[in-house]
A and B are shown apart, each in its own frame.
Chain A
Amino acid sequence: MNFLQPIGNVTFAFLATIGRLIVFTGTALLHSVKPPFYPRIILKQMIEIGYFSLPVVGLTAIFAGMVLALQSFTGFSRFSAESAIPNVVVLSITRELGPVLAGLMVSGRIAASIAAELGTMRVTEQVDALTTLSTNPYKYLVAPRFIAGITMMPILVFIADIIGVLGGYLVSVYQLGFNAANYLQNTYDFVEFIDVFSGLVKAAVFGFIITLMGCYHGYHSKGGAQGVGQATTNAVVSASILILCFNYILTGIFFSIDG
């Protein structure tokens, strides 16, 4: 029966982690809506998550749009449907590629950064120091990052949508010979509110996931430099996987609404 022991241990450890995560999420959300707030720190986090992520998200979006136009042309030209390229580009970018690629890129940048910062604060007792200085660590460290993540990701993705469509436009017009005015008119006529809105809702959820994973793993890191490194890896991996899982779930929900 000894083989059951490791299975039991793993199961209990998994359940304990889920429990800790639920309690952490609940506590952090509560402190995110309950005053006092720290506007200066929220603003700083918004700049860190939103403004400083713009280059990486913008580059990802423009190349995604360009590749999408080229690949679509390869496929659609086989059955003379090249005119659908503007539609495919805008639909793919706004509904899927914009939020998912931005989410994954911001996850690599921000979840890692949050986990490393909070993890270092944890192992150097700075989090304990906050408690002794009458400052709630959830309110001071976690809530501002939650608020910044949830609000800045939709803005980032909206910009990524525009840049991604621009990437498709550039390739289509200057490499594939599309008429510029027709391309833009087709894009504008085809895109619907729900296409953009669904992508922005996804972005807000991904912003929540990224900051949650960064804060959770950083806050619970232990064991010095190795522990902080482990927390950083766990934050990025778990955020990326959860983004892909929730992307499917949200796509399913919007699919049923559309239907």
Chain B
Amino acid sequence: MAETDFKISMRDVHKQFGPKVVLDGFNLDIATGESVVVIGGSGVGKSVMLKCLLGILTPENGTITIDGENIIGISTGQRDRINDKIGMLFQMAALFDSQSVWENVAFGLMARGTSKSDARDIAVAKLALVGLGSEVIDLYPDSLSGGMKKRVGLARAIATDPEIIFFDEPTTGLDPIMGDIINDLIVHCVGETGATTLTITHDMQSARKIADKIAMIYDGRIVWAGPTEEIEQSGNDIVTQFIHGRIEGPFQATAQL
């Protein structure tokens, strides 16, 4: 299929920092409404891939399209238009310290011209969707627990009803129960909005719960991709080693570096 047939398409993407090659012919296609999880070890290029999609990093080669539109080398105005379609949950939530919970959630709405009172109402509704009541809306991020920050981050990511949502390690730093709650919230919220999602994680429980499709990144490229239910029978040694958390296997060389 052509890259224009997909909501998000990355073809032959190359990115390196000095001599270190991070993405080396990376390919990934995501259909509209699909939930794709990219798994991989630490430092294999998952975050770099996401930053290339967000326009924070520019790849040296390859094409990245969103809704068929090339997003590499576009103007700030064009980038803003693309970003209007995107919501993002950061690994550590990345809430603005100087703003209250509701202001954090409403930030993207007000940036797009929504009035303060309407933005506050929407923020309260989105916070309710992630299980946070009115008692937290005027708190500041430094008084929230890790799980609550993730919830606020999730509310901020879905506040503008984006067509695309990126999740960067959504369960990292949380206990297993809170991690599972966040997974459920992601599934629930994405179901509500019908958004296309891309999640990067190394938490297999999270991946199995969130994903329609899982892709494994290794050595700067996708080494296996397929439906979630087929990952156990991937037939790929790297995938098998990773999902079972075994020390021995082809992944070992990278781990020892």
Are A132 and B87 in contact (CB-based, < 8 A)? yes
Stretch at the interface among B25-33, B65-73, B105-113, B171-179: B105-113
In B72-105, the 8 Å CB interface with A consists of 76, 80, 83-84, 86-88, 90-92, 94-97
In the complex, what residues of B have CB within 8 A of residue A125's CB?
90-92, 94
CB of A182 closer than 8 Å to a CB of B: no
Are A131 and B54 in contact (CB-based, < 8 A)? yes
In the complex, what residues of B have CB within 8 A of residue A120's CB?
97
Contact of A124 among B51, B92, B156 (CB under 8 A): B92
Are A131 and B83 in contact (CB-based, < 8 A)? yes
Interface membership of chain B positions 131-155, coded 1 if the CB is closer than 8 angstroms to chain A and 0 otherwise: 0000000000000000000000000
Are A126 and B83 in contact (CB-based, < 8 A)? no
Are A131 and B76 in contact (CB-based, < 8 A)? no
In the complex, what residues of A have CB within 8 A of residue B86's CB?
132
CB of A192 closer than 8 Å to a CB of B: no
Using a Cβ–Cβ cut-off of 8 Å, how many residues does chain B contribute to the interface with A? 23
Are B54 and A128 in contact (CB-based, < 8 A)? yes
Decide yes or no: A126 and B97 within 8 Å by CB, A132-B87, A133-B111, A135-B107 being known contacts. Answer: yes
CB of A80 closer than 8 Å to a CB of B: no
Are A132 and B111 in contact (CB-based, < 8 A)? no
Are B56 and A128 in contact (CB-based, < 8 A)? yes
B88 closest partner in A (C-beta): A132
Separation in Å of the B194 CB from the closest CB of chain A?
20
Not counting A128-B94, A131-B56, a sample of 9 additional A-B residue pairs whose C-beta atoms are within 8 angstroms of each other reads A125-B92, A128-B54, A128-B90, A129-B94, A131-B55, A131-B83, A132-B86, A132-B87, A136-B80
A contact set with B: CB distance below 8 Å: 120-121, 124-126, 128-129, 131-136
